[in-house]
Structure 1
Amino acid sequence: MSAAAALQLEGLRKSFGKTEIIRGVDLSIAKGERHAVIGPNGAGKSTLFNLITGRFPPTGGKVRLHGQDLAGLAPFQINRMGLSRSFQITNIFPKMSVFENVRCSLLWAKGYRYSFWNMVSKSRDLTQAADAILEQINLTERRELPAGVLSYAEQRALEIGITMAGGADVIMLDEPTAGMSHSETDYIVDLIRQVTENKTLIMVEHDMGVVFGLADRISVLVYGEIVATGRPEEVRANPKVQEAYLGAALEAEH
């Protein structure tokens, strides 16, 4: 794993009115690292994601992607710099086919821009690229189905495929296994491990089995502050983390 930072947060803060949600977060995530952010409900995890991806402007501090300051950039501009994300709530086009969902997500990366005279249905390279992603996410057999009829786990897999399609090298997944059965979770974890190979992964996740099985390092966010960052075994053994969050989270799974 390279020591170069793919993503760096410096004194990041966010307030809504007088309420401070993110309270001076410093974090460096190396290129190729799989990094999990955990913490209790209300800790600010989704807000942190929204700050990184440009949905919210920070009240203070900086976000750097491969050394470039993201201040003032819109989410689509950040995406085109190589950062892509999924959301807690599945975000797909339910009436379009599985194939069409993936093809749409490829358009900008394949150079189609705002060209209304191009017939995307006749583009061989676009079709081949979309089919390659469908194969990677194990949805080739569902290619022509409306995305809305897929199972929940398959819809999450499709969203991961859409997230990957733009060619981003930093992937952010917000609770990718929420609401899944054990078998569905195993399916999605295997998929995440496969599609993020040689990429930087940052995920928010409540399932500690997923976190400890996937993450190279873990950061624990409590009331808007990171109270610990380290390898899984270090975080598991940290008394401060056990007191603030981890003990209760692990007990809840048994």
Structure 2
Amino acid sequence: MSDNALELKDVRKSFGSSEIIRGANLSVAKGERCAVIGPNGAGKSTLFNLVSGRFGVSAGAIRLNGRDITGLKPFEINRLGLARSFQISNLFDKLSVYENLRCAVLWSLGYKYSFWQRLNGLRDVHERAEMVLEQIGLRRQRNVPAAVLTYAEQRALEIGITIAGGADVILLDEPTAGMSRSESDAAVELIHKVTVGKTLVMVEHDMSVVFGLADKIAVLVYGEVIACDTPANIRANAEVQAAYLGHDNDELAA
């Protein structure tokens, strides 16, 4: 069994004649928190879509916990232990916070298409949903429709939905985008807490979030991973400074 939770080997993705991902290689160890950074247009979201099965690769291979998942559908990859969030919240707006979480845990607990079972009678589903509700700090909003939550609360709920199914590899796509500094700090604390013992891969533009969370940082430029190292080494990497921030290195050096 591989010690890596996620491995990308020479992964490529083209849309017509445009090659977006150009032979990306990346290994993320089990239990590691890895941030993927890079300038706009580097291919970060495309890379996430390839890993989660939303897009098919043009070439190369992707492995999850040692298993080849290249070409699998998103729901198949999810059932093998990988879950992801999106840049834009995907919630059931008219359902309550609790009901959103309850939907997220059903399949992982073995309740598939059981139309004859009443949800209110599923004790294990209730307990799991309540546990996640407590983890994400939304117990007071338990019965509030998702649509009326604040933006930061919606993002917290989305993180809760992502972890609710028990996946051991979590992909978060810009989890703090659009947040104030205090909201962002709270989100970092939440992500730290809910990903203990799990593998985290995230795309994030806020460098304070990246350096506050990541054990390792992968730098994606023009569809290639040009560096993957500890935050300290990435901060000092001249190639990263030149390729990612050009002549403005203040954000990386902060």
Question: Into which bin does the TM-score normalised by the smaller protein fall?
Answer: over 0.9
Q: Do the aligned partners of 1:79 and 1:168 also contact (CA within 8 Å) in 2?
A: yes
Residues 241/111 of structure 1: CA separation in 2 closer, same or farther (3 Å cut): same
Q: Do the aligned partners of 1:208 and 1:250 also contact (CA within 8 Å) in 2?
A: no
Residue 99, structure 1, aligned to residue 98, structure 2: yes
Query: Equivalent residue for 1:89?
Result: 88
Query: Equivalent residue for 2:198?
Result: 199
Aligned structure 1 segments of 4 or more residues deviating by more than 6 angstroms: none
Query: Equivalent residue for 2:37?
Result: 38
Query: Equivalent residue for 2:77?
Result: 78
The normalised TM-score by structure 1 is 0.96
| Stretch of structure 1 that moved more, 164-173 or 63-72 | 63-72
Residue 158 of structure 2 aligns to which amino acid in structure 1? Answer: E
Partner SS, residue 162 of structure 2: helix
Query: Equivalent residue for 1:5?
Result: 4
Residues 22/7 of structure 1: CA separation in 2 closer, same or farther (3 Å cut): same
Q: Do the aligned partners of 1:236 and 1:246 also contact (CA within 8 Å) in 2?
A: no
Q: Distance in 1 between matches of 2:168 and 2:249?
A: 30
The normalised TM-score by structure 2 is 0.96
Q: Distance in 2 between matches of 1:110 and 1:121?
A: 15
Q: Distance in 2 between matches of 1:38 and 1:177?
A: 14
Q: Distance in 1 between matches of 2:191 and 2:19?
A: 33
Q: Distance in 2 between matches of 1:191 and 1:79?
A: 22
Residues 126/59 of structure 1: CA separation in 2 closer, same or farther (3 Å cut): same
Q: Do the aligned partners of 1:5 and 1:66 also contact (CA within 8 Å) in 2?
A: yes
Residue by residue over 1:42-77, the C-alpha shift from the partner in whole angstroms, topping out at 9 and shown as x without a partner, is: 000000000001000100000000111112210000
| Shift, 1:170, TM fit | 0.2
Unaligned runs of 5+ in 1: none
Unaligned runs of 5+ in 2: none
Residue 112, structure 1, aligned to residue 111, structure 2: yes
| Shift, 1:246, TM fit | 3.9
Partner SS, residue 109 of structure 1: helix
| Shift, 1:127, TM fit | 1.1
Residues 249/182 of structure 1: CA separation in 2 closer, same or farther (3 Å cut): farther
Query: Equivalent residue for 1:132?
Result: 131
Identical residues among aligned pairs (%)? 63
- Tell me the matched-pair count: 253
Residue 200 of structure 1 aligns to which amino acid in structure 2? Answer: T
| Stretch of structure 1 that moved more, 241-250 or 33-42 | 241-250
